[in-house]
A and B are shown apart, each in its own frame.
Chain A
Amino acid sequence: MYGDTANKLILDAKRSANLSEIPLYQSNLINLIIKETNELNKDAQYLAELHQLKQEENSEELTEEDEKISQCQEFVTHLSMRRNKRCLLAYEKLRADKLVEFTWLNIDPISESDESNATTGTAAGTSTSGGGNSKTQNIPYSDSIYNNYTTKVALDNLSHAEQDFLKNYQDLLVDYKSNFPDIDLSGDLEPPTNIFIDVRVLKDGGEVQTEYGCFNLIKDSQFYVRKSDVERLIQQGYLEEI
C-alpha cells in the first residue's frame, strides 16, 4: 500500500524522539518514499491527461459515472502524495528540533572531549581535533533538566542538508548572542541560589583559564569558588557538586 514506507519512517522517528542522541539518517527509507511519490505524481499526470483526452474526444458520451471515477482516482493519488509529504516533514522536523536543542546546549561538535583538552583545553572548549572522522561528544549531564535532551550528535549520522543546517544555525545563534554580550543565553536554566559553591574536580583538565582567573584542575581536588566563574566548566563535565 502507498504510505507504508512513510509509516515505517514515522515509527522510527517516534522511537528516537526520546533519545539523547540523533540516530542515523534513514536515507534508504527516504529514497523509497520519494520514489513512491514520484510514481504517484506520474500516475496523477497520466490520469489528468487521460481525463482531458476523453473529454475532448467524446464529450457527449462521457457519462457521469466516468467523471466520478476519474475524479476519485485523482483525489486518492493526491491524498497519498500528501500523506508522504506529511511523514517526511514530521521526520525532518523532529531531527531539526533535536539539532536546535543541541546547538543551544553550546557543546562544540568539533572538539573531542577526551584527548585534546589536556594540552590546550580552555573553558570555552575551543580546541580543535583537526576534523577527524568520528566527531562524537559524550558529556555527562547528570542534571534532571537534561533528561531526554539531545546531548550527543555524531556528524556522520546527519545528512548533508542537516549538517549545513546545523552549521548555519550555530552561526545564527552566535549572531543572536552577540546582541546581548552581557547575558549567557545558553547558560544554566536553574535559578541561581548560592553565590559561592563547593566544587569537586571530576577529571584532569590541566590549567584552565576562566574569565575571572586561573584554576589548576587536578582530579579529586576541591575548590570554593564563585558560581558564575565555573558554570561553564560544570556544564562541560569537569566539575561536579553545587
Chain B
Amino acid sequence: MINIMLTAALVLFAIAILISLCRIIIGPSLPDRIIALDMIGVHLVSTIAIISVIFQTTAFLEVILILAILSFISTIAFSKYIERGVIIERKHDR
C-alpha cells in the first residue's frame, strides 16, 4: 500500500514536470519560461524527498536544501537580467 502510494506520488510529480516542460517549449515570453523553470526546480526538490523515502536513506537530504538554494538564486539572476539588462552592476564612483 505504502509503496503504491509512493510510486503514484512520483508519477504525479513526473507528469507535473512534463507539463511545465511543455510550458517552457511553447511559452510566448521569457518570464513564462522562467516561471516554469522555477516550478521544475521546486518539483525536483520534492521528487528527491520521495526518492529518499523509497530508498530508505537519509543521504539525499542535503540535496534538497542545496537544490532549493540554487533554484532561488538562478530565478533571481534571471529576473534581474530581464529587468535591468545586467546581473552584477558595476560601481559608478570609481
Q: Do A and B bind each other?
A: no
Q: Please report A residues at the B interface, Cβ cutoff 8 Å.
A: none
Chain B contact residues, CB within 8 Å of chain A = none
